[in-house]
Structure 1
Amino acid sequence: FFEIYEFERIRVENKDFSDEELSQNIKWTRDLKKSVRMGLNLELENNKIVPCFYRPYTKKLLYYDKYVNEMRYQLPNIFPNGKEKENIVISVNVGCPVFAILATNYIFDYALLKFGNGSTPCFPLYRYNSGNRIDNITDWGLKQFVSHYKNKKISREDIFHYVYAVLHNPEYRRKYEQNLKRELPRIPFYDDFRKWVLWGKSLMNLHLNYETIEPYPLRRTDIEPAGHSRCTPKLKADMKTGTIVIDNLTTLSGVPNTAWEYKLGTYSALQWILEQYKEKKIKDPTVAEKFNNYCFADYKEQVIDLLMLVCTVSVKTMEIIREMEK
């Protein structure tokens, strides 16, 4: 990318040229065209390669740079350097048929929880201004909770966890189902504030630290390949039998029914993973020719490990949600 950009920058320097004359081997966004016209030099900086939450429980690497990333909106004020643990955000979807919510401490894709024409706004715990970290929950917001519950010990993190729990509450989602399809959620005051805080904190710990949790003991069945037959990806789930067909050689079984019930929109967490790791036909001919080197077999063991981890997350998440319904 950078080699092509630099070649084009030098080639068109001090010349009049149309967009069509630029090399089609990279994607020229609006801002990137401005940069090349200005003669801006861009070089690869390895410290700008950071993990990104692309879809639920699926990370990809992102080159995080204001000249390369188009329309970053408020992300630089939330994750100024793109580093993990700079912040925690509660991501929700808006304008979607089914509400979804997920906390992350990574930069996230704006389509993280998107369905159709919806979007994925977020509520960060902090924001940054000129390198200074600022509490995103305002003094006014804190005062509302302290006043309502008559408890001066309530902290901003307590409120953050409370909100995360409330937005997982099935009763809340049923009551405000139509509102959640078209507008940002509003937060009611529930009785027993501390109980909701603890539920929210437990949920957030599960969802943020899913990679370090105890994997669920799914049963793995492998068969020997016949002759020189290659691995053919399947990545299909059968909820009735509790099985996941990984490929023509490997099947996972023993997925509990409750694991499928933890949904982020219309997909369960497990289904999100299966969908993201499928081999897909790339429509863009340039991308298909030059960059489509994905092969599921290279990620097979990683995906199996991830499914076992997220299965545990799903079961434990539903246990907490069931407690809310009592």
Structure 2
Amino acid sequence: IENVNRETCLGDFRFFTPKAFDNIEDYCKAWSIKDIFPTNQNGVKTDRDPLFKDFEKNTLSERIKVFFSEDGLDSVFRDTYNVYDSSSYSLLARRESTSFNKNNIIPFMYRPFDKRWLYYDPNLTSRPAWKVMQHMIGTKNLSILSSRQVLSEFRHIFVCDTASNINGIDTAGKFGSGPTFPLYLYPTEDSRKQKSLFESPVWQADEANGGRVPNLNPEFVAEMAEKLGLKFETKQPPPGLPQMRQKDVEFEGGAEGIPQNSTHLAFGGTEGGDTFTPEDIFHYIYAIFHSPTYRIRYAEFLKIDFPRVPLTSDVALFRALCKLGKKLVGLHLLEAPEVSQHITRYPVAGDNRVEKGYPKYQEPIEEQAGRVQINKTQYFEGISPEVWEFHVGGYQVLDKWLKDRRGRQLSYDDLTHYQAVVVSLQRTIALTAEIDETIPEWPIC
């Protein structure tokens, strides 16, 4: 086996097989996602998922009440939910030092398009990832989940607006753990103690939105602003106020080289104007990472390090990619109105139970559209092979969602949700193609 030593911007690697580093120069000019979002951390790891998470909020609440009661030490309960200490998790001691709080039951992203309920207490949860999750719980925020290393092709990008799981986009043991990169930091009691942007005058706090500040590297923002010739706007309009332009006032305490507006009424974003916002940056990054050409062109690098973001000086291209990235975010959070316009049918009545050995996919034949069977008689119809096979990270989305519900009866909300995901995936496929059509050439400039 040939030992190949390539010293690059990614570090000094030694490979035992040749690598195609043809595009290393333009890749190294781009910004790593871990440097763009300085505060980042792996997702939540409970080490006791069957105990601390559930599909149903009430079911989880009742189970955690038992856990904190005397019955929580009953041998059957302990064996069922592994209520024992391990070498890395002193569960029993943490149980004794905490108590039940209904407010600790929160929604969280368990898998792509699959939110569950989680009992989350930083003093109880094995690895709470509190540095990041304090900014994602009970706040208005967005985060990107990505991976540093992947074994499969790079598909490891997803958006989240809640707390997220360490295995949110792949299995951590396969290098696919999902670090969370939040867009904003909120001034929580703990975050103020951190050596963070709250202790410096880099960004103006957005008091109309909880005093939050962007979790963005000022050097990255300065370079983007210089290339685009735009001003960076850190604030958003309070609810009910029009998005009017007022006189720009420069923030004297801002990061050197970054023009900022101090008024929260003035921001351009995808609507035009001479400003751009944290959300624009987020949407631009999200669009770039979903470009099929990007994933192919930089495939070798994406296997061994975090993805990197190339910057453009073309304002029209920037605006267009922001718009497409925003559409993708809406689709992936299932907030886009179009996801309610189902393209599938669920025509057969029954008990809606996902049986053992299912789901099974039937490819389209003659006039019969593609079907996903959940049992012998019931199915979703109108699902193309490319939608059925669509992956986010290491998960085949439509297959994984149903497999995780084997033995369960799907509710009306479940049936509606699944069909919304189908729309989202179909539109995602179309939008990723549109992203490639929008980018005139590579490398981006």
Name the CA shift for 1:223/1:34 in 2 (closer, same or farther; >3 Å): closer
Q: 1:196 aligns with which of 321, 325, 346?
A: 321
Contact 1:222 / 1:251 at 8 angstroms: preserved in 2?
Answer: yes
Q: CA deviation at 1:148?
A: 1.2
1:163-191: per-residue Cα shift (whole Å, max 9, x none)?
A: 01000011111111121122111111244
Q: CA deviation at 1:149?
A: 1.6
Q: CA deviation at 1:210?
A: 4.6
Q: CA deviation at 1:94?
A: 3.0
**Whole-Å separation in 2 of the counterparts to 1:102 and 1:222:** 33
Residue matched to 2:436: 325
**Whole-Å separation in 1 of the counterparts to 2:354 and 2:71:** 41
Residue matched to 1:104: 160
Letter aligned with residue 125 of structure 1: L
Q: 2:181 aligns with which of 113, 123, 128?
A: 123
Q: CA deviation at 1:247?
A: 1.2
Q: CA deviation at 1:4?
A: 4.8
Residue matched to 1:254: 382
**Whole-Å separation in 1 of the counterparts to 2:378 and 2:397:** 20
Residue matched to 1:316: 427
**Whole-Å separation in 1 of the counterparts to 2:177 and 2:300:** 16
Q: CA deviation at 1:77?
A: 3.5
Q: 2:404 aligns with which of 276, 281, 292?
A: 276
**Whole-Å separation in 1 of the counterparts to 2:68 and 2:335:** 38
1:68 equivalenced with 2:124 (yes/no): yes
**Whole-Å separation in 2 of the counterparts to 1:249 and 1:257:** 20
Letter aligned with residue 359 of structure 2: L
Q: CA deviation at 1:112?
A: 0.5
Name the CA shift for 1:9/1:247 in 2 (closer, same or farther; >3 Å): closer
**Whole-Å separation in 2 of the counterparts to 1:9 and 1:262:** 41
Contact 2:354 / 2:402 at 8 angstroms: preserved in 1?
Answer: no
Residue matched to 2:137: 82
Which SS does the other structure have where 2:276 is aligned? coil
Residue matched to 1:236: 360
Q: 2:418 aligns with which of 283, 307, 312?
A: 307
Letter aligned with residue 146 of structure 1: A
Tell me, which stretches of 5 or more residues in structure 1 are unaligned? Answer: 11-22, 279-294
Contact 1:58 / 1:276 at 8 angstroms: preserved in 2?
Answer: no
| TM-score normalised to structure 1 length | 0.78
1:113 equivalenced with 2:169 (yes/no): yes
Residue matched to 2:226: 147
Name the CA shift for 1:224/1:51 in 2 (closer, same or farther; >3 Å): closer
Name the CA shift for 1:80/1:167 in 2 (closer, same or farther; >3 Å): closer
| TM-score normalised to structure 2 length | 0.58
**Whole-Å separation in 2 of the counterparts to 1:77 and 1:265:** 21
Q: CA deviation at 1:248?
A: 1.9
Letter aligned with residue 434 of structure 2: E
Contact 2:144 / 2:182 at 8 angstroms: preserved in 1?
Answer: yes
Which SS does the other structure have where 1:65 is aligned? coil
Letter aligned with residue 264 of structure 1: V
Contact 1:231 / 1:249 at 8 angstroms: preserved in 2?
Answer: no
Name the CA shift for 1:179/1:5 in 2 (closer, same or farther; >3 Å): same
Deviates more, 1:251-260 or 1:97-106: 251-260
**Whole-Å separation in 2 of the counterparts to 1:88 and 1:117:** 23
Letter aligned with residue 325 of structure 2: G
**Whole-Å separation in 1 of the counterparts to 2:136 and 2:223:** 32
Which SS does the other structure have where 1:59 is aligned? strand
**Whole-Å separation in 2 of the counterparts to 1:8 and 1:259:** 46
**Whole-Å separation in 2 of the counterparts to 1:307 and 1:108:** 20
**Whole-Å separation in 1 of the counterparts to 2:228 and 2:67:** 60
Name the CA shift for 1:248/1:70 in 2 (closer, same or farther; >3 Å): same
Q: CA deviation at 1:102?
A: 0.9
Residue matched to 1:172: 294
Residue matched to 1:217: 343
Residue matched to 1:283: none
Percent identity between matched residues is 24
Q: 1:93 aligns with which of 147, 162, 165?
A: 147
Q: CA deviation at 1:219?
A: 2.4
Q: 1:135 aligns with which of 210, 214, 219?
A: 214
Name the CA shift for 1:90/1:239 in 2 (closer, same or farther; >3 Å): farther
Contact 1:262 / 1:317 at 8 angstroms: preserved in 2?
Answer: no
Tell me, which stretches of 5 or more residues in structure 2 are unaligned? Answer: 1-63, 190-210, 232-274, 438-445
Q: 1:158 aligns with which of 260, 280, 286?
A: 280
Letter aligned with residue 323 of structure 1: E
**Whole-Å separation in 1 of the counterparts to 2:429 and 2:279:** 23
Q: CA deviation at 1:211?
A: 8.3
